Structure 1
Amino acid sequence: MSVWSSLKGVVDRVLGGEESAGNLREEELRLAAAALLVHASQIDGEVDPEERKTLKALLKARFALGDEELRKILKEAEAWEHDSVDLYGFTSVLCRELDQEGRQRMVEMLWEIVLADGVLHEFESNLVWRASELLGVSTHDRVRLRKLVESRAG
């Protein structure tokens, strides 16, 4: 499934009035967040079981997803991530839909994914840096969020 057919499916499901537009924006936000987190879980060339477990837990908690909704959003996110050539497609949606606090939460979630296996690969670190820049999250906040996640992990 291509990114365009995934996004077309989203649009087709929620086309309608203003309430539907809100649903579309929420679904687009979920999909962009999930695709960015999927990318983070795969960037080192290996999908670690701890990273996958953390990815699912973060998405379920952040978006109050049930198991079936989670499976669906992950399938769509994986297709979008596979078809993407850069991070802008994901981060532009996140910038549009999230305030600074929400963007910082996304960076925190990225740290949670890349640190889940206990090993920070240079590709993972670079991804969090690039995504933070695109999300407008400062270096100070990016480092603070990393330390926060590391302190919770022990």
Structure 2
Amino acid sequence: MLDFLKNSLLRGKNLFNKKPKKINDFKSIEIITCSLFIEAAKSDFMISEEEKSTIKKILKKTFSLSDAQVLELFNISQERVEKSIGLFEFTDTLNKSLTDNEKFELMKNLWRILFADEKLSKYEEHLARIINNNLNLSHKDFIASKLIVKKDLGIGT
């Protein structure tokens, strides 16, 4: 038994020194952000074409990606959402990785996605509230980010 363990450890001697591989050269923060956006967009049980388009535009601008990279990132993230067990796995990483200003910008982008189809369902707003809370942003930030986006989009308050 000890020989088996010794041989296993010798074969995998660099096991703990390996750097984590990037999935298709995307950083995990990009995948997590996109996954969160997809999760939010589908919170009303469907993702409209307007929401998909808005997600892709935001990804392209935020992460300086080409159209092909955005499409690949979107597809990878959709798979990740299908395998996920909840929002916390996304928001926890973002909460630990982003500054408060970056989290506020993320919330504004989230609102842009949710307002893209010009309909805000109670499910979308509820999920936005959960994401805001998971990111440890205040209620004031929740309201401010929503109002800023509504004003930018010319939507009545």
CA-to-partner distance for each residue in 1:67-120, whole Å, 9 max, x for gaps? 121112111110111111211111111112110001111111111111111111
CA distance in 1, matches of 2:52, 2:99: 26
Matched-pair contact (CA < 8 Å) for 2:56–2:71: no
CA distance in 2, matches of 1:152, 1:107: 14
Write the mapping of 1:119-134 to structure 2, written as runs, cut at 5 A.
119-134=119-134
AA at the equivalent of 2:104: Q
CA distance in 2, matches of 1:52, 1:31: 15
CA distance in 2, matches of 1:13, 1:107: 26
- Aligned match of 1:12 in 4, 15, 21? 21
Matched-pair contact (CA < 8 Å) for 1:31–1:73: yes
The alpha carbon displacement at 1:50 in A equals 1.1
How many corresponding residue pairs?
A: 135
| Structure 2: gaps spanning 5 or more residues | 1-19
Matched-pair contact (CA < 8 Å) for 2:91–2:134: yes
TM-score, length basis structure 2: 0.81
Matched-pair contact (CA < 8 Å) for 1:28–1:93: no
Root mean square deviation of aligned Cα: 1.7
Match of 1:41 in 2: 41
TM-score, length basis structure 1: 0.82
CA distance in 1, matches of 2:95, 2:83: 20
Matched-pair contact (CA < 8 Å) for 1:44–1:121: yes
CA distance in 1, matches of 2:93, 2:22: 19
Match of 2:61 in 1: 61
CA distance in 2, matches of 1:63, 1:74: 13
Q: What SS does structure 2 have at the residue aligned with 1:12?
A: coil
Does residue 117 of structure 2 align to residue 117 of structure 1? Answer: yes
Match of 2:107 in 1: 107
Match of 1:8 in 2: none
The alpha carbon displacement at 1:46 in A equals 1.7
Match of 1:139 in 2: 139
Matched-pair contact (CA < 8 Å) for 2:104–2:141: yes
| Structure 1: gaps spanning 5 or more residues | 1-10, 15-23
Question: Percent same amino acid among aligned pairs?
Answer: 23
